[in-house]
Structure 1
Amino acid sequence: MPRPAPAPPSADAPAEMTPYERYVALFPDGMKGDLIDGNAVIDMSTSVLHERLFKFLLILLEGYAEARGLGEVFGSRTTMRVDDENGYEPDVLFIRADRLGILDVKDARAPVDLAVEIVSPSSGRRDRETKFEGYERVGVPEYWLVDPVRREAAFYRLDGEPYQAGGVYRAAPLSGGVFESGAVGGFRFDPQVLFQDPLPSAFALLRSLLEAEEPGTE
């Protein structure tokens, strides 16, 4: 069954609030969704496949960013404000250490440094079109789209000034089948690991990545 939408404006959310301010104030804690053109779009429960992939990516990115002191990684309950009528909750997002000032108590001001969306049957069009265009418009430097059903991973980098409007996403090339992130400096992996069944150990892969960067390690 669909989950209930946030409550209408109340004494805690005065009418003069923008749709985004009302969304942040009233959207139930712990529920995942997006604000699209002033309307709350609530995600249904995720599949086991989606959740496994989410945890895998979160462990890899969070562990790498923490080990290298690059910034903070958040998972799917942190809203990024796009404008007065739009706010997105990426499955995973990253903010560089020198830009953590964009964080507030309940959300982040756009643009974050990396947004990752794991496509589900109910979110495909939103992730590939609406949110793609929104992330591009506000200047998010890097956007990953991972589709576990189609077994596809696409990585986009902003062709233009990071954090500024006017850039265009271009597909980021792989080098020898390996993707290297421009947003999370030094983070690299083979996207095909995302579609292994079962997934490999995220901790083992993270350890291997970190050890490969140590001086004297080939």
Structure 2
Amino acid sequence: MTQALPKPITFEDFLEWKPETGRYELHDGVIIEMQPTGEHEEITGFLVTKLAIQFERLNLPYFIPKQALVKPPNKQSGYLPDVLILNRANLAVEPLWKKSSTVTQGASIPLVIEVVSTNWRDDYLLKVADYEEMGIPEYWIVDYLGLGGRRFIGSPKQPTISIYSLVEGEYQVSQFRGNDCIESPAFPELNLTAKQVFRVGALPEQQEQQNES
């Protein structure tokens, strides 16, 4: 849902306005209120748990914040990803971190994940371009309902995990469906299939259908 405001605002104005409760993003000066569904939240929580196990096991200086923002360069935008893994080692040189828990550098973000909602164009178009420009090495789009455009997930549309990996400054995409084992450059030993992710938020009867397929 878009907040009705008389004119676009700056990122600084957004930080001053943003309430302590609720989930909001700024897209080119326009405030967007985020209201995820229960399925969306279950999948997000599942991925947080699985990935935290990976970086804890590898003893990496990573953590997953609750409300940190990602600000693309030269834009009046600020994103609140569904899953944001941060590298503590780089936060000392982040100019907005201590004051406003905002990161602006790809070196601070080993991995970012967006779980697709009805505003899928933001994930597949807007954020892909901005995350690539920032130099974020790995970006997942978890489209558990197959909502994305056919040019992104194919036809017929089906639940898809798209992993964008930065190669020589440009994203290359790999896609995973069904029993495909997810291949993450950041966590190559991650033992997880696309179906395991998608069935997390499903109702029992939907889980049975997925097991049969």
What percentage of residue pairs aligned between the two structures are identical? 25
Contact residue 52 and residue 63 of structure 2 kept, 8 A: yes
1:88 is paired with a residue whose SS is coil
Contact residue 113 and residue 183 of structure 1 kept, 8 A: yes
1:104 and 2:127 equivalent?
Answer: no
Report matched runs for 1:54-65 at 5 Å: 54-65=44-55
Contact residue 43 and residue 201 of structure 2 kept, 8 A: no
Q: Distance in 2 between matches of 1:26 and 1:66?
A: 35
1:72 and 2:42 equivalent?
Answer: no
Report deviation, 1:143: 0.4
Match of 1:34 in 2: 25
Instruction: Point out where structure 1 has 5 or more consecutive residues left out of the alignment.
Output: 9-17, 161-166, 200-218
Structure-1-length-normalised TM-score: 0.71
Contact residue 58 and residue 75 of structure 1 kept, 8 A: no
Report matched runs for 1:194-209 at 5 Å: 194-196=197-199
Q: 1:21 to 1:198 in 2, by over 3 A?
A: closer
Q: Which runs of 4+ in 1 moved over 4 A?
A: 2-6
The amino acid across from 1:73 in the alignment is F
Q: 1:81 to 1:183 in 2, by over 3 A?
A: same
Q: 1:180 to 1:73 in 2, by over 3 A?
A: farther
Post-superposition CA distance 1:181-212 (Å, at most 9, x none): 2234643422221122567xxxxxxxxxxxxx
In structure 1, which of residues 170, 173, 179 is the aligned counterpart of residue 172 of structure 2? 170
Match of 1:202 in 2: none
Task: State the number of aligned residues.
Answer: 180
In structure 2, which of residues 35, 39, 42 is the aligned counterpart of residue 52 of structure 1? 42
2:197 is paired with a residue whose SS is helix
Q: Distance in 2 between matches of 1:197 and 1:65?
A: 21
Contact residue 160 and residue 175 of structure 2 kept, 8 A: no
Q: Distance in 2 between matches of 1:92 and 1:198?
A: 16
Report matched runs for 1:136-215 at 5 Å: 136-150=132-146, 151-160=159-168, 167-172=169-174, 177-184=180-187, 186-196=189-199
Post-superposition CA distance 1:73-120 (Å, at most 9, x none): 325621011134121111001123432333434222232221100001
Q: Distance in 2 between matches of 1:109 and 1:31?
A: 22
Report deviation, 1:5: 6.4
Match of 2:131 in 1: 135
In structure 2, which of residues 91, 102, 111 is the aligned counterpart of residue 114 of structure 1? 111
1:95 and 2:91 equivalent?
Answer: no
Report deviation, 1:4: 5.3
Q: Distance in 2 between matches of 1:157 and 1:33?
A: 26
The amino acid across from 2:58 in the alignment is R
The amino acid across from 1:172 in the alignment is S
